[in-house]
Amino acid sequence: MLLRILFLFLISLPAYSQSYQLAVGSNLTNYLFVNSASTNPANMRAATGMHLSLHREAAISNDFFYDLGINYNQFNTVGDVQNIPMSYHTDFIGLGAGIGPRIKLGKTTSLVVKGRVSAVKMINGNQLLLNRYIDLADDDQFNSIRTMYGLSLDLRKQINAQVSTFVSYQYLTSYKQFIEPNRTGKSTVNFIPTTFSLGLVLSN
């Protein structure tokens, strides 16, 4: 509900200029499993996965921007539980939004800082446990829609009036997954991806 309100709010804002952002990069994802005792029973390590996103960005003023878009992410991890090796490989698609200022660092260089929120849904997922693959489609820890929040930093270089390039850092974490076990008694998993990407900004 909160995410829907945010999207409606951003759509209603006046836009003085518009552009499109295409980014390709890599996620480095930590999984934090939390049981009913609020402890992490698994020893998991971050693994890499692909990140793709396409956003429409609009300027509220000369130096304040918001964006709305779609994203595809692989959230992967490896590790063990009681010395039993395992790995998780998952594919998520979702909608994302961000809002924040642009800080000019020079005539053609700027830093764009945004608070971000995203809703994602797993479309494919497998757990490799010993030598056996387990489908995660029916696992309640993975198959529900997840709300994620965090921030992004884009370092941009203006090439010409219509084209900019950028390198981006993004940090997100799942929402409510830390408090859910205490409320329901069920174990949950919290996704914490750190994303590094390269991209283009194409202006009208």
Residue/partner pairs of 59-62 with CB below 8 Å, 24 or more apart: 59/15, 59/16, 59/17, 59/18, 60/13, 60/14, 60/15, 60/16, 61/16, 62/16
Confidence tier at 18 by pLDDT (50, 70, 90): confident
* In contact, 80 and 42? CB cutoff 8 Å: yes
Confidence tier at 60 by pLDDT (50, 70, 90): confident
For residue 49, the 8-state DSSP code is E
In order of their start, the domains of the chain are 2-203 (2.40.160.20)
Mark out the alpha helices in 13-124 (DSSP H runs): none
Per-position b or e across 78-114, b if 16+ CB within 10 A of its CB: ebeeeeeebbbbbbbebebbbbbebeeeeeeebebeb
Beta strands in 105-145 (DSSP E): 109-129, 132-135
* Global confidence as pTM: 0.85
Confidence tier at 2 by pLDDT (50, 70, 90): very low
Read off the tokens for 104. 């000019």
Read off the tokens for 35. 């049981």
**What value does the mean pLDDT take over residues 80-94?**
87
Confidence tier at 33 by pLDDT (50, 70, 90): confident
* In contact, 164 and 198? CB cutoff 8 Å: no
pLDDT recorded at residue 119: 92
* In contact, 101 and 113? CB cutoff 8 Å: yes
CA distances from 159 to 86, 103, 200 (A): 45, 17, 10
Taking alpha carbons only, the member of 197, 188, 179, 169 closest to residue 31 is 188
CA distance 179 to 62: 40
Write out the H or E segment, with its range, that includes residue 4.
helix 2-12
